[in-house]
Structure formats: structure tokens, C-alpha cells
Chain A
Amino acid sequence: MTAKKEYDVIIIGGGPAGLSAGLYTSRSRLDTLLIERGVVGGRITDAELVENYPGFADGISGAELGQLMQRQAAKYGLNIVTAEATGLELKKDKKVVKTTQGDFTAKAVIIASGSERGKLGVPGEVEVTGKGVSYCATCDGPLFRGKTVAVVGGGNAAISEALYLAKFASKVIVIHRRHRLRATRVLEEKARAEAKIEFLWDTVVEKIEGEKALEQLSLRQVKTGQKSSLDVAGVFIAVGLKPSTDFLKGVLPLDEGGYIITNERMETKIAGVFAAGDIRQDSPRQAITAAGDGATAAVNAEIFLELKA
């Protein structure tokens, strides 16, 4: 726990956007606190291999990339606390960030709380989470060695997870509601070449069943309406992302999807409050764009503080 409560800058979220922002503000000798509720590194730590972050020509594991970013920012004095932001209060000259570890105040705030995995919203999903339902193949995949698992989704996250799971599972069934994938071609080609991966097209999961552990998925073919069930030991859900902005409702204007609107300087509608990374409207949600946003937000936060001083 951090005893100190007042900072120049508070960054909410410890992914590539937040850590890059923290690197820049700390190097500018701004007293900075970064608040992260889970694992520092953010959602990128779920990625087995990041192949599109420039500078790492042979790819790098997401966990390692996150650790490197953390180490680099810590070197210049970035403070990190494990807590969940629960609210933001705007006072005349300062901003109060409410968290599960108490209130912290700063003159400028950079919101980089990113996005979290979307849920299917079907019966049984919540009850069986952690007992066979997972949102992270690199976290839980090796626990399903020699078993049959399913992946729900058709985007990059889903196909990357399927490829990773194929290393451990005996069979990986990709369940996708459309008849073609959204994933990048390179990933699709790899998945189609992998003998362990099978596809169930035009199919949705209607129900997840299991008492102590996952037993089966109830499926429906969307074109024919035909119902079926599938016995799997694990199901990995990768159906898009939802912004982590619940704590900002009523404080900052959000778009229909819950994302934050900024200008090209990462400024929100409120002076001294910036946003960076996946949380921004129309963000391409890549580690590299998040890192760029973080740096931009930090530079402009610094200008904001200088003009105020």
C-alpha cells in the first residue's frame, strides 16, 4: 500500500498505454502514481507471442513485453499500486480518484484502463467461470492437456487462442457465429494448417452446463436452427472487448459503446483529464497504438501542468 495520497499525475491502468505514459511523466520528474487492478502489463500479458510490436523482430511474449515496460518506467520512479478505480471526482483544482485502496488526488489524470473480454451472456457462463470457462488461453490452457476444448469467436484473439491451445489439447473446436473468420490472414492460414483445429461455422453457444466442472455446451446452428450439444472440458471465450469505463459513468462523456472521446492530444472534454489506448473511441486496440497514445497523453499532461503552474 502506498501511504502517499497526492501526486502530480495519476494514471489509471497499467497496460502499454499507462506504462508508456508513466515512463514519460516519470522521466519528466512528475510525481506519478499508476493504479492497476490486476497484473501490470495489462491485456497484452495474455498474448503468447506479440509479433507486431516494432523492435522485437522475432516476436516477444506479451508477459515479457509487459514486464520490460514496467521495469523501464520503474527505473525513473513510477509508483504503482494494486487497486481498482471505482470513481473519479473533479474538484476545482484537483482530481480525486476513488479506489478500493482509498482516495488519491492529482492535478492531472490519464485514463488508460483499457478493455476487458466481452462475455457471451448465456446461462451458465458466470457459474462455470474458473471451472472450465476461461477468458485467457495463456493463463489456463496448459491445464487442459490431452482434452478437447472449444474456442468461441472468430477474430484475432480467438484464433491466437486456438493456436496456442492446440499445443496442449487433443482437439480444439472453434465455434463461430458467421461462416468466415475476422482474424488476420496470417493467423487464419496457420489455424487451417493445424490438424488439431476444427471449425463449427454459423454456430452460437446458447447455454453452458456443468456442476463442479464444465460438462457440455448447448449449440444452435443459426442458419438451420438445428440444436446440438458438445462435450468439452474447457471453453475459451474470445468474443470481442468491452471498455472498462463503468467507473466514469456520469463524470466523463462516453460514446454509445462506452468509449472515451478525445482529440488528437488525448484530451477529453475535461481539462486535465486525458485518455489513452484501447479506452479511446476508434482505437485500433494494438499495443503499439496504445503506447503511442500514452506518450502523447503524457506530453500533453506535462504541458497542461506547466501552463497551470
Chain B
Amino acid sequence: MTKPIEVDDASFEEKVLKSKTPVLVDFWAPWCRPCLMAAPVLEELATEYNNRITFAKLDVDQNAQIAAKYNIMAIPNLIIFKEGKPASQIVGYKPKEELKKDLDAVLK
């Protein structure tokens, strides 16, 4: 079982932007119920896409800088970063099958 890694304002550049593999960042907050519902789905996907896509989560309440930089104004908000740039963005709660389509598209 691969768990998503925690990233914050300080570690974002190192862990996300400079990553060799694509990184899916789950912008979330503890008060967001759809985010909590999405979390177990993302854990499953983290295991399925192990070594191909890194799964990370960033608490927008604690990390206002990065949240503001990427204009996070609705959560759950998933951004897949590839070579330091956002390659795909998914806003709102989506079923697993739909998320997989986006992940596969980024890997192509």
C-alpha cells in the first residue's frame, strides 16, 4: 500500500516541481467532506500507479502560499504536475474511473 506523501509550502518545489515522475497534488482541507471521501480513492490509485505517478496532498488551510499561487478556489482540486508544470486539473469530487482517465492521459 502506497500512501500519498504530505507536501507543504516549503517542500513543494523540491517534492513536486522538481520531481522526475509526474505528481498528482490533492489540494484539500479537513473541513471539506468531498475531500475526505476522495481520500481513500486516491490512496487506492496511489497503489495502482505506484512508481509511475507520485501522489501528494497539500492542506490549503496550512499552506496559503501554494494554494494562492495555483488559484485554488474550490476543493477537492487535483492538479497533476509534469516536469514542474500543471498538466491536468480536476475540480470537484469524481469517481475513480474518471480519475483514471485523466491519469492515463498524463502518462501517454
**When A82-B95, A139-B34, A142-B61 are in contact, do A234 and B73 touch as well, CB less than 8 Å?**
yes
Assess the A39–B93 pair: CB atoms within 8 A.
Answer: yes
Which residues on B sit within 8 Å (CB–CB) of A143? 29, 60, 67, 72-75
- Determine the residue in chain A with the shortest Cβ distance to B33: A63
A130 vs B29: C-alpha distance when bound (angstroms): 16
Which residues on A sit within 8 Å (CB–CB) of B96? 82
Q: Tell me if B37 is interfacial: C-beta within 8 Å of chain A.
A: yes
Which residues on B sit within 8 Å (CB–CB) of A38? 34, 93
A213 vs B69: C-alpha distance when bound (angstroms): 11
Q: Tell me if B91 is interfacial: C-beta within 8 Å of chain A.
A: yes
Q: Which of A222-274 contact B (CB under 8 A)?
A: 233-234
Q: Nearest Cβ distance between residue A210 and chain B, in whole angstroms?
A: 10
Assess the B73–A130 pair: CB atoms within 8 A.
Answer: yes
Which residues on B sit within 8 Å (CB–CB) of A75? none
Assess the B29–A142 pair: CB atoms within 8 A.
Answer: yes
- Determine the residue in chain B with the shortest Cβ distance to A140: B74
Q: Interface size bucket, B side?
A: 20 to 34
Q: Tell me if A216 is interfacial: C-beta within 8 Å of chain B.
A: no
Q: Which of A12-27 contact B (CB under 8 A)?
A: none
Q: Interface size bucket, A side?
A: 20 to 34
Q: Nearest Cβ distance between residue A138 and chain B, in whole angstroms?
A: 8
Q: Nearest Cβ distance between residue A301 and chain B, in whole angstroms?
A: 26
**When A82-B95, A142-B61 are in contact, do A39 and B33 touch as well, CB less than 8 Å?**
yes
Q: Nearest Cβ distance between residue A49 and chain B, in whole angstroms?
A: 14
A140 vs B29: C-alpha distance when bound (angstroms): 10
Q: Tell me if A52 is interfacial: C-beta within 8 Å of chain B.
A: no
**When A63-B33, A139-B34, A143-B67 are in contact, do A213 and B93 touch as well, CB less than 8 Å?**
no
Q: Tell me if B97 is interfacial: C-beta within 8 Å of chain A.
A: yes
**When A39-B37, A39-B93 are in contact, do A132 and B31 touch as well, CB less than 8 Å?**
no
Which residues on A sit within 8 Å (CB–CB) of B32? 139
Assess the B73–A213 pair: CB atoms within 8 A.
Answer: yes
Residues of B within 8 A of A (CB): 29, 31-34, 37, 60-61, 67, 71-75, 77, 91-93, 95-97
5 closest Cβ contacts across the A-B interface? Answer: A82-B95, A130-B91, A130-B74, A63-B33, A213-B71
A-B contact list, 17 entries, CB within 8 Å: A1-B97, A38-B93, A39-B33, A82-B96, A100-B95, A129-B74, A130-B91, A134-B74, A139-B34, A139-B74, A140-B75, A142-B31, A143-B73, A212-B71, A213-B73, A214-B73, A233-B73
